[in-house]
Amino acid sequence: MLKALKEKFLRELDPSEKVFFLKKTRECVIDRGYLAGEDLFYYCYFLTLRERFRKISPCGGEGYMRFLLVEGRRDVDEAVKLYESRLEKSRLAEPDPIGRRYLDYFSRS
């Protein structure tokens, strides 16, 4: 499972998005005490997609493009909320000891 997640990470994110993803993963593991795993991956992945949407601005105000951006942002925001609530339920008081290895695994390309 972890290998498939790393392949998705390498294939779908550009270099600046990878840095953003890793920064968010680090914050979640160390500062928030979230457990490393699939839920953390998708939480950070959707945060990265939300950042990607934030950077997109529709040129010329095309109605269809604007509609797609709004709907896409809404879907991504819902996914972020879903994974955040799942992570909050299993939150640790101390940082997850496996979290640093998880972060290192995704840092190596």
> For the chain, what are the domain ranges?
2-107
Straight-line distance from the first to the last Cα atom of the chain, in angstroms, rounded to the nearest whole number? 17
In angstroms, the CA 19 to CA 91 distance is: 24
pLDDT in tens for each of the 109 residues of the chain? 789 999 999 999 999 999 999 999 999 999 999 999 999 999 999 999 999 988 887 666 677 778 888 888 999 999 999 999 999 999 988 888 888 899 899 988 6
Q: What is the pLDDT of residue 100?
A: 87
Q: What is the pLDDT of residue 50?
A: 95
The backbone torsions φ and ψ at residue 107, rounded to the nearest 5 degrees and listed phi first, read -70, -30
CB count, 10 Å around CB of 62? 11
Q: What does DSSP assign to residue 31?
A: I
Taking phi first (over 0 means left), then psi (-120 to 50 degrees means alpha), and beta for anything else, what does residue 14 get?
A: beta
- The amino acid that residue 88 corresponds to is E
Residue in this structure with the two tokens 């339920």, named with its chain if needed: 89
